[in-house]
Structure 1
Amino acid sequence: MQLKHHKDFVRFWIASTTSDFGTFITTLALQVLVVVNLHGSATDVGWISASRWLPYVLLGLVAGVIIDRTHRKSVLVMTDLGRGILLIVICITAVFGVINIGWIIVIMVIFGCMSLFNDAVYQSFVPQIVPRRLLTQANARLQQSAAVAETSGPAIAGGLIGWIGAPFATLVDGVSYLLSGIVMASIKYHPIERASADPIGVQIKEGLRWVYRHQYLRTLALNTHVWFLFHSMSITVIVTFAITELGFTASILGFVFSAAGIGAVLGTSLSTRAGQRWGIGGVMTFSRVLYIPAIILIVLAPPAIQDNLQTNALIMVVIGQFLYGFAMGLEGPLEMGYRQSVTPSRLQGRMNATMRSINRSMIVIGAPLGGGIADGYGYRMALWISIVGLAICGVWFGLSKMRNAQLEDDDIKENY
């Protein structure tokens, strides 16, 4: 049976795609709101980015236990609706001129709490509505939609920001979350067997043991944690770097970030076949190495001359963004499909929450760190440091056991 015959997955895919389009609009709109409307610095952008992920540091492991004990669809619906309302609040307060950096941080902390639970359920929900043999295809389909949204979202955001301003661009995302919640509510989901009623501490330890004693997940988790640290430094710095040093406008930024989306679409389209031919570990190793030249192209882009951007800078940043998006699209479905396939259902919530919470904890460190280095020592220095970190991750991954991982490795499912 093909994916299209699984009606619950089709509804899930529609809801996910709807919110994805809004998310990639807000990703750019919120940063422009801080830099342009509120005259914020790279450090301000870093702190706002970190505030969104702070709940992952404080509540991530507990969230995994809660998710394994609750009705997952209800969590998806309520968190979608809640996030939609919060983004609408940002729009309204910005329009009336009462928004500031502090209030955005507070709102994004609350937004992050809802995202924490939504993300943990999202990744744990797919294996319950899709057969194991279709997991990689299902994740590829979801990430293809996200990639298409990433392609068009920034371009739409750039146009919207230039036309009606950054605050109203966030309104679009708010509405998309509300629509996603409504569609998600229509899924006819039958709850799986829930985790035992052991104390929370015992269940957290069980989730940690599963991830960090598994011969493959351990390497994947640790390497990805470090990757997120340097990835968050890059992403934090690039927007402010492009605006202030390369002379990019909001519209050009939208075009540039669309290149990453195009690369991601191509990457996700090739992901399943590449994994079957060269193995999950081999393809992921290639992807982790590909991030290095992608950022090098961006950091070598020549600065604007008398506030006018240079064509060479635009070309180099576009190619760099394309390669970065291609690498993420290529490895994303394989990584997620592998994690889901080797983890028992009763541990899905804790496995996903453990890995995701620590990954996001790295953003809490990396985003303000990148912004601080950029403000103190220059944007290019911050990007070079992230390049070195990404290179370490690529070499480490290539020399580890994970490079030999295969989706059909059923025998390692209990190896922890």
Structure 2
Amino acid sequence: MMRLADVGDYRKFWTASTTSIFGTYITSLALQVLAAVTLHATATELGLLNAARWLPYLLLGLFVGVLVDRYRSKPMLVGADLARAALLCAIPLLHATGLLTLPVLIAFAALLGVLSLFFDAADQAFLPRLVPVEMLTSANARLEQSHAVAQTTGPLLAAALVKAIGAPLAILVDALSYLISGVLLARIRTREHAAPLATRRSVLTELREGTAWVYRHRMLAPQALAGHLWWLAHSMLSTILVVYVLRAPDDGLGLDEVQLGITYACAGAGAVLGGALANRSGQRFGAGRTVVTTRLLMPLPWLLIPLTGPSPLAIVVLGTSQLLFWVLMGLEGPNEMAYRQAITPERLQGRVNTTIRSLNRGAIVVGAPIGGLIADAAGYRVSLWVGIAGLIASAAVLAASPVRHATIPTSATLDAQAPT
């Protein structure tokens, strides 16, 4: 029986992804330090810098999905990686020559977002071509585990690099990671074919086709709608959590930055553990039942936070909450992604994935400020309860849908999974 480790092209793909994601965490911190310390950016300007990174997903995501379905994914992946490496090399060069300003840095962040959008869209479309459908859950779980480790240790590595060599030079480390990733991806031998010219229609027609596949599909439609609601609620919770944890005891938990870092470490450990169990859960209970059950359980760890007041045990409760939540995330994510990739025709992979991803990113842009506004108007605990209510609503949408019966199809049953 073939194992995931036996798929040489997937090994290159996974190594490339792991290398670049660590570099991304370095740049995320280094850009903010460069803006705040060197360029003396205000809080509003930092917000613009961070928003510039995600704006391309909202503006261009659906159109990029059409392009990914028209052309081969591998050249896009390699080209995006090499272009990101070159773009990041320009930032320390401009800084050294005194030409780096905040508007220029924001423009670079937006360009980096465009390239990352192309990479992410092609990345999700390319994976189903590298491994058999039966291995998609394991393949996605392995990638999720890498991201979890990067999420846990990446910020620490970034902080150490920024402190040791400065933010501009730290950005060069990310440039190197993209270069390594591009070289590894270029060595993948899996053959692809661009969509024949005769099958191409107008961009808007193809865009509508991809959107219709998602929102008319009896399984994908509730999954996508529940996902948008989940991202809205989670962006509220994750925005409020940092401030609530660090606020003084009369208004929050009164913990410090080190204890907050411990919380993130617990979250990363939970994601790794959940990812390790994802394939086994999908095989035993089915992908749909795993997704629905974990989504139903996700509000429970968050309930511990508003119910906990300042005390010596607050860090224990907080760490346990995030550990359990991210175990559920690690179980759910690979099964949800594998099911979506398995039932989506190859010609629609780019459009389907970018449709869902783009609207999820839109939910983040809306949810984060809403969470902050509710917190300022009614208090942190109230805003946490509202976010938890959103998670419950997302779970209810899934539980009431046919998604609970979804299983990863084999090649023989793919034709039966059609939009209605």
**TM-score per shorter chain, which class?**
0.7 to 0.9
Partner of 2:418: 414
Partner of 2:261: 254
Shift of 1:299: 3.9
Partner of 1:211: 214
In terms of mean alpha carbon deviation, does 174-183 or 374-383 score higher?
A: 374-383
- Residues in 2 aligned to 1:46 and 1:233: alpha-carbon distance in whole angstroms: 16
Shift of 1:293: 2.7
**Mapping of 1:189-204 within 5 angstroms?**
189-194=190-195, 196-204=199-207
Shift of 1:238: 2.9
Structure-2 change in CA distance of 1:287 and 1:39 (3 Å): farther
Structure-2 change in CA distance of 1:369 and 1:99 (3 Å): farther
In terms of mean alpha carbon deviation, does 104-113 or 55-64 score higher?
A: 104-113
Partner of 1:343: 344
Shift of 1:379: 4.0
Partner of 1:69: 70
- Residues in 2 aligned to 1:177 and 1:12: alpha-carbon distance in whole angstroms: 13
In terms of mean alpha carbon deviation, does 326-335 or 77-86 score higher?
A: 77-86
Q: How many residue pairs were aligned?
A: 409
Which of 277, 293, 299 does residue 300 from structure 2 map onto? 293
**Mapping of 1:6-405 within 5 angstroms?**
6-26=7-27, 48-87=49-88, 105-157=106-158, 159-160=160-161, 171-194=172-195, 196-245=199-248, 246=253, 250-302=257-309, 311-375=312-376, 377-405=378-406
Instruction: Report if the CA contact (8 A) 1:296-1:387 is conserved.
Output: yes
Structure-2 change in CA distance of 1:113 and 1:374 (3 Å): farther
The TM-score normalised by the length of structure 2 is 0.85
In terms of mean alpha carbon deviation, does 178-187 or 338-347 score higher?
A: 178-187
- Residues in 2 aligned to 1:244 and 1:399: alpha-carbon distance in whole angstroms: 38
- Residues in 2 aligned to 1:365 and 1:351: alpha-carbon distance in whole angstroms: 22
Q: Deviations over 1:2-25 (max 9, x none)?
A: 222222111111100111223345
Letter in 1 for 2:383: A
Shift of 1:53: 2.0
Structure-2 change in CA distance of 1:105 and 1:382 (3 Å): farther
Instruction: Report if the CA contact (8 A) 1:156-1:254 is conserved.
Output: no
- Residues in 2 aligned to 1:332 and 1:11: alpha-carbon distance in whole angstroms: 22
Shift of 1:320: 2.2
Letter in 2 for 1:238: L
In terms of mean alpha carbon deviation, does 7-16 or 47-56 score higher?
A: 47-56
Structure-2 change in CA distance of 1:317 and 1:98 (3 Å): farther
Shift of 1:315: 2.0
The TM-score normalised by the length of structure 1 is 0.86
- Residues in 1 aligned to 2:96 and 2:377: alpha-carbon distance in whole angstroms: 32
Instruction: Report if the CA contact (8 A) 1:57-1:358 is conserved.
Output: yes
In structure 1, runs of 5+ residues without a counterpart are 304-309
In structure 2, runs of 5+ residues without a counterpart are none
Larger Cα-atom Rg: 2
- Residues in 2 aligned to 1:197 and 1:10: alpha-carbon distance in whole angstroms: 33
- Residues in 1 aligned to 2:49 and 2:370: alpha-carbon distance in whole angstroms: 12
- Residues in 1 aligned to 2:80 and 2:56: alpha-carbon distance in whole angstroms: 14
Shift of 1:343: 0.8
Q: Deviations over 1:215-273 (max 9, x none)?
A: 10111111101111122222233334444555555544433212111101110110011
- Residues in 2 aligned to 1:312 and 1:35: alpha-carbon distance in whole angstroms: 34
Structure-2 change in CA distance of 1:296 and 1:49 (3 Å): farther
Instruction: Report if the CA contact (8 A) 1:29-1:169 is conserved.
Output: yes
